[in-house]
Amino acid sequence: MLTRLFLISVTLLFSASSYAKHFVVGVERIQYLPQYTHDAGEYGGFARQFLDMWAKDNNHTVEYKILPISRLFKELLKPNSELDFKYPDNSYWQQDMKKGKNVTYSDAVVDYIDGVVVTPGNMGKGKQALKKLGTARGFTAWDYLGDIKSKAITVKENNSFAGLLKQVISGRVDGAYINIAVARYHLANQLKQPGAVVFDPNLPHTKSAYHLSTIKHPKVLEDFNKWMKKNQGDVAALKQKWGVNAM
């Protein structure tokens, strides 16, 4: 009996240790708190703590490769890529580039909303009140491309999210197209003005989710999904801590 228990224990230990792996996760070189950020080459924010938690629970080690967004997609898709996973990703992003590639996506990690924030006094005035729309430099207001192309809306870019929100507060733009969790974070932590601008859900906006993606390890993603379901409470608490929920 003791011999049998010993053999079972050794088998389980061997199985766990043989499955434990070192993974390289490609991440975006962008200051995007509370979702994720980088400082002196160190990845941070909700995404870092979340992926570290998953890795620790499954005896994996994770290395974060911080790359510009356009290069990150290319790196994921190229043959013999050093990347095992990419975060965040979405099946709607760079669809042409991904054609013919077997990219697998996890279940949703974080739901998000990209939309327009306005001052409380401008809430509910409708799209016709948006003449000047602020965006962060390098970001596209996808829901307003037709209006921008027809010149019904003029885009004003800003180099920072805090600066973008200041433009709305001061009235230099009528609204700002931004990730709502990111807006909420900067209002509370950078500007110390929570509630100075608010999301207007009646204006065009995008609801979607961030996923973990891979070409190399679809089986690992299956286990990743099971881990998320098993640890829903801990994951929800981490989302609450960082304030990444869409609303």
In a domain, 85, yes or no: yes
40 and 151 share one domain: no
In a domain, 32, yes or no: yes
Share of the chain above pLDDT 90, in %: 89
37 and 93 share one domain: yes
Per the structure block, which two tokens stand in for 102? 């077997």
Any residues with CB less than 8 A from the CB of 159 and at least 6 apart, and which? 136, 137
Model confidence, pTM: 0.88
In a domain, 95, yes or no: yes
95 and 148 share one domain: no
102 and 163 share one domain: no
Share of the chain above pLDDT 70, in %: 92
Give me the number of domains the chain comprises.
Answer: 2
In a domain, 14, yes or no: no
Give dist(CA 98, CA 94) in Å, integer. 6
**Per-residue pLDDT reduced to its tens digit, 180-212:** 999 999 999 999 999 999 999 999 999 999 999
CATH, residue 200: 3.40.190.10
89 and 105 share one domain: yes
122 and 203 share one domain: yes
In a domain, 11, yes or no: no
In a domain, 15, yes or no: no
Which structural domain range is residue 170 located in? 113-207
DSSP string, 43-67: EESHHHHHHHHHHHHTT-EEEEEEE
Under a CB-based contact definition with an 8 Å cutoff, are residues 87 and 50 in contact?
Answer: no
pLDDT band (50, 70, 90) for residue 9: very low
Under a CB-based contact definition with an 8 Å cutoff, are residues 182 and 32 in contact?
Answer: yes
Under a CB-based contact definition with an 8 Å cutoff, are residues 183 and 247 in contact?
Answer: no
In a domain, 1, yes or no: no
200 and 117 share one domain: yes
> Looking at this protein, which amino acid is placed at residue 4?
R
Token pair 């995007």: residue:
32
DSSP string, 162-221: HHHHHHHHHTSSSEEEEEHHHHHHHHHHTS--TTSSEE-TTS--EEEEEEEEESS-HHHH
106 and 217 share one domain: yes
**Shortest CA distance to 215 belongs to which of 75, 93, 108?**
75
Please give the C-alpha separations between residue 28 and each of 67, 71, 122, 245, in angstroms, as whole numbers: 5, 9, 33, 19
In a domain, 237, yes or no: yes
> What pLDDT, on the 0 to 100 scale, is given for residue 19?
59
130 and 199 share one domain: yes
The torsion defined by the Cα of 156, 160, 166 and 171, in degrees rounded to 10, comes to: 0
129 and 82 share one domain: no
Per the structure block, which two tokens stand in for 92? 């709607």
Cis peptide before 218 (omega within 30 of 0): no
**Per-residue pLDDT reduced to its tens digit, 31-69:** 999 999 998 889 999 999 999 999 999 999 999 999 999
50 and 105 share one domain: yes
Per the structure block, which two tokens stand in for 94? 């760079």
The mean pLDDT of the chain is: 92
Give dist(CA 159, CA 168) in Å, integer. 14
121 and 186 share one domain: yes
